Amino acid sequence: MELCSEFFAPLKEKHQVEALLASTLTVAIAEIGDKTQLLALILAARFSHLSGGKTAIILGIFLSTLVNHFASAWFGQWAIGLITPELARYLIAGSFFAIALWVLVPDKMDEEQSRFYKMGPFVATFILFFIAEMGDKTQIATVVLAAKYDALAMVVMGTTLGMLIANVPVVIAGHFSAEKLPMTLIHRGCAVLFALLGVLTLIF
């Protein structure tokens, strides 16, 4: 039994690393130009002049994403356990293809946020990011990734890291604007990535 465990240990470790890297890359790319990245820009413009404002915003993004994506990943693993592996494979692949089409549609920010600003940069960021992530493409991607890899900790760590990679530079730079990036090209590249994940899910 121990020999069997030792034999499969490298495969399990490789699976965990794959889950982490895929989740990080997928969310980091999908987040570019997403409404939560636009929200990070707005919050930076609103609070960055305060002492410790940028740090509070980054911490708010981190904790809000961690809570939201942990719940999303847990749901993904729970839901996928209710159906057969064969059906699960097709549903996961179909979900990736659907997200691939979704990322081609530009996001728009809801400007009704001012009532949260009086709560300070950390609380405002935590609440607004949590709300913005509900039903967002990166949250759905987290659900699907968790269902695909069955590695909750690695998926949550990866998707949270991906959110930070995409949003922390926005908060630090302050003046950064997504409009300066080739958004159409980025969105198309992201769509190709999700479509590729769908194809790989069907093949393997």
Question: What's the rounded Cα separation, in Å, for the pair 92 and 186?
Answer: 23
pLDDT of residue 45: 82
* pLDDT band (50, 70, 90) for residue 5: very low
User: What pLDDT shows up at residue 65?
Assistant: 95
- Residue 195: phi and psi, rounded to 5, are -65, -40
pLDDT at 55 over 60: yes
CA distance 177 to 91: 36
122-166 pLDDT per residue, tens = 999 999 999 888 888 888 889 999 988 888 999 999 999 999 999
- Banded model confidence at residue 1, pLDDT cuts 50, 70, 90: very low
- Confidence at residue 106, expressed as pLDDT on a 0 to 100 scale: 64
With vertex at residue 135, the alpha carbon angle to CA 74 and CA 196, rounded to the nearest 5 degrees, is 75
Q: Is residue 2 scored above 50 in pLDDT?
A: no
Q: For residue 194, how many other CB atoms are within 10 A of its CB? A: 24
Residue 186 is predicted with a pLDDT of 66
Confidence at residue 182, expressed as pLDDT on a 0 to 100 scale: 62
d(CA 187, CA 196): 14
Q: Beta-carbon neighbour count of residue 22 at 10 Å?
A: 22
> What residue ranges do the domains of the chain occupy?
19-203
Q: What's the one-letter identity of residue 197?
A: L
Cα gap 178→175, rounded to integer Å: 10
Which two three-digit tokens encode residue 120?
Answer: 């300070």
Own/partner long-range contacts of 79-84 (Cβ < 8 Å, ≥24 apart): 79/143, 79/147, 80/146, 80/147, 80/150
Q: What is the pTM of this model?
A: 0.78
For residue 9, pLDDT over 50 is answered with no
Would you say residue 57 has pLDDT above 90? yes
**pLDDT tens-digit profile of 107-125?**
565 555 567 888 889 999 9
More confident residue, 178 or 130: 130
pLDDT greater at residue 144 or residue 83: 144
Average pLDDT, the chain: 81
Q: CA-to-CA distance for 114 and 119, rounded, in angstroms? A: 10
d(CA 42, CA 172): 12
